[in-house]
Amino acid sequence: MTNHVPGSGVGRFGGDRARPGGFRHTPQTSMKVEFAQVSDCGRRDHNEDYCGYVLPETAVEARTHGWLFALADGVGGQAQGEVASRTAVETLLAGFREAKAGEPLEALLTSLIQKANTRVFEVALGAGRSGAGMATTVVACALRFDRAVVAHVGDSRCYLLRHGRATALTRDHTFASEQARLRLLTTKEAARASTRHLLSRSLGSELFAGVESSAHLVLAGDVLVLCSDGLHGAMEGPEIADIVRKNGDLRNAARHLVSLANERDGADNTTVQLIRILSVERVGTYRGLPYKLR
């Protein structure tokens, strides 16, 4: 299994897999995935976003472990937000690589994010005054067979693009979003509220993180989008879907999205991971074990 971190990357698994620097032939598996990722600091002098992935090296690993994509947006400016985001993602990637074969993805991601939260919390304590306020958002997506499991804390998002339409698979953990869910604000008011970027949950700010997770059936042709608020703050889901649809190459689509976000604002770091499902392996479960559907 391998991982890659920002600036940019592109890859494919399930046949020929392309990675920065070359191509590699891998054994066939019924689920095939291609992806691209781009991270840019915008007008800021450093990048507090961080992203990475774990890919299966064999068809067996695709069925026992699967794929993991993770993205984090560090919080705190001078309080080492980039340390928090990198620590969170690297903890997730390492834990996923070491996970037991066949471990249920939803429970696994929740556990790994809790472990990442503890690690960020410990790093902040160890940094003394410079670590005060250190925290990060995180969103992770694991793929296996015909399922995507998404888990997150904070306002980094995951969208599912299907037939040109965008569906948010996450909800922002911000005070404005919480007020909208309580109907104290309308959706439009929440989008303009001064608290729309103020996080109600983050990784590393407390000893326990309120992880939210969900599982989704994916189909061939679906595209999953993981992004920091530098992207979704500059454009809505339908526009993201339209840009991905018009750019058949995921690397071009990712670059276009980040470039457009910088043109419109650029005041924040912007990171995006695009994952296209090329084919899936339809399975059912019996007593917690998967079996192939005919």
Q: How confident is the model at residue 205 (pLDDT cuts 50, 70, 90)?
A: confident
The average pLDDT across 66-89 equals: 89
Q: In a 3-state reduction of DSSP, which class is residue 187?
A: helix
pLDDT, tens digit, for every residue of 8-62? 555 544 433 333 322 232 335 579 999 999 999 988 888 999 999 999 999 999 9
Q: How confident is the model at residue 77 (pLDDT cuts 50, 70, 90)?
A: low
pLDDT, tens digit, for every residue of 108-122? 999 999 999 999 999
Contacts of 220 (CB under 8 A, 6+ apart): 277, 278, 279, 280
Domains and CATH numbers, the chain: 8-168+201-280 (3.60.40.10)
The average pLDDT across 113-139 equals: 88
Count CB atoms within 10 A of the CB of residue 18: 17
Helix (H) or strand (E) holding 36: strand 32-40
CA dist 66 and 97 (Å) reads 10
pLDDT of residue 9: 55
Which of the two residues, 193 and 173, has the higher pLDDT score? 173
pLDDT of residue 202: 92
Q: In the structure, how many helices (H) and strands (E) does the chain have? A: 8, 16
What's the chain's average pLDDT? 84
Whole-model pTM: value is: 0.86
Helix (H) or strand (E) holding 74: strand 67-75
The average pLDDT across 258-280 equals: 94
